[in-house]
Amino acid sequence: MGKKFNPIQFEENDGLPLMDVGIWAQKKYKLVGKYCDIFTSSMKGKWNLIYMDLFCGPGFVKIRDTGQIMRNAGLISMSVPKAFDHYILNDYSPRNMEAMEARVQRLHPSVSVQYSCKDANTCIEEILTSRPRFSNNRGTLTFCFLDPFSLNLDFETMKVLAREKVDILVLHALKMDGQRNREIYMQENHERLARFTGNPNWREKFLAGNYPMHRFCKFLADEFDVNMKKLGYLTEAMKEPISISTGHIIYYLAFYSKHPLGTQFFGKVQRGSNDQLQMF
């Protein structure tokens, strides 16, 4: 891992749209950025490397508490010392995609990048079909970052990604969405968690009683992991909690790889991450 790479990169306001985040988002950016760094510095030249971000946002965020402006994950991934060979950026908001595209063109005009502005739950086949083919004999490795606001993430997307060599870092909004909306999701006609876990019978399984009600989030995380394992991903899945200043966990970043090297890399990144937040 390039020791000098700092994923926390402050920027001047360029007048384009910003996304407001809490200061705790810095931990997310550190994990993503450091994983990109270790991944590309170890694999560049041996494999064709792709960064994929299906919920990429506008490129810059504004930290609510301090007013500071920072790069988000997509732009951090472009600033690692050894860049990926190709980038795939998607967000269903045209406003965010326009801002992201303008920032990439200004800050990283020479990277190979494809943009799309679609619902991440329906576009993965199309994105994979339209990505460029490399004309060398190397295989292709992809690092996919999935960063939704909620559990509105279809497990079908994991199934498509799992056909290829893809390491996945996914934000599981278990507390922000799962816990908060448990009563709503328990209602029979609500489909979101069947789509998220990949198990249409999750409700019966939960009510069968192996998990007490207060372990609802743990149940959802385990369900997701069981189905990732069926796709060939190694478990125990590695999870990094992200907490707000009161210490309450609001979401988890869960990492999945089919190769022990992937888990080894993420383990290093986790050990190197700490909650110290950069104020200036």
Q: How does DSSP assign 215-267, residue by residue?
A: GHHHHHHHHHHHHHHHTT--SSPEEEEEE-TTS-EEEEEEEE-SSHHHHHHHH
3-class DSSP state of 19: strand
Q: Determine the angle formed by the axes of helices 25-43 and 260-272, rounding to 10 degrees.
A: 140
Read off the tokens for 186: 């328990």
Question: According to CB under 6 A, which one of 41, 121, 181, 227 is a site residue for ligand SAM?
Answer: 121
How far apart are the C-alpha atoms of 280 and 267, rounded to whole Å? 27
Question: According to CB under 6 A, which one of 50, 88, 120, 220 is a site residue for ligand SAM?
Answer: 120
Q: Which region, left, alpha or beta, applies to residue 24 given φ > 0 means left and ψ of -120 to 50 means alpha?
A: alpha
Contact between 149 and ligand SAM per CB under 6 A: yes
Q: Minimum distance between the CB of residue 190 and ligand SAM, rounded to whole angstroms? A: 17
- Closer residue to ligand SAM, CB minimum distance, 121 or 179: 121
Question: According to CB under 6 A, which one of 55, 84, 143, 265 is a site residue for ligand SAM?
Answer: 55
- Closer residue to ligand SAM, CB minimum distance, 158 or 206: 158
Side chain identity, residue 183? E
Site string for ligand SAM, 85-104 (x = CB under 6 A): ------xxx--x--------
Binding segment for ligand SAM (CB under 6 A), chosen from 117-125, 158-166, 208-216, 265-273, is: 117-125
Question: According to CB under 6 A, which one of 36, 50, 52, 73 is a site residue for ligand SAM?
Answer: 73
Question: According to CB under 6 A, which one of 40, 72, 77, 257 is a site residue for ligand SAM?
Answer: 72
> In the sheet where 113-116 sits, what is the strand order?
113-116, 86-90, 48-53, 140-146, 166-172, 249-256, 238-243
Binding-site ranges for ligand SAM (CB under 6 A): 55-57, 61, 72-73, 91-93, 96, 119-121, 147-149, 152
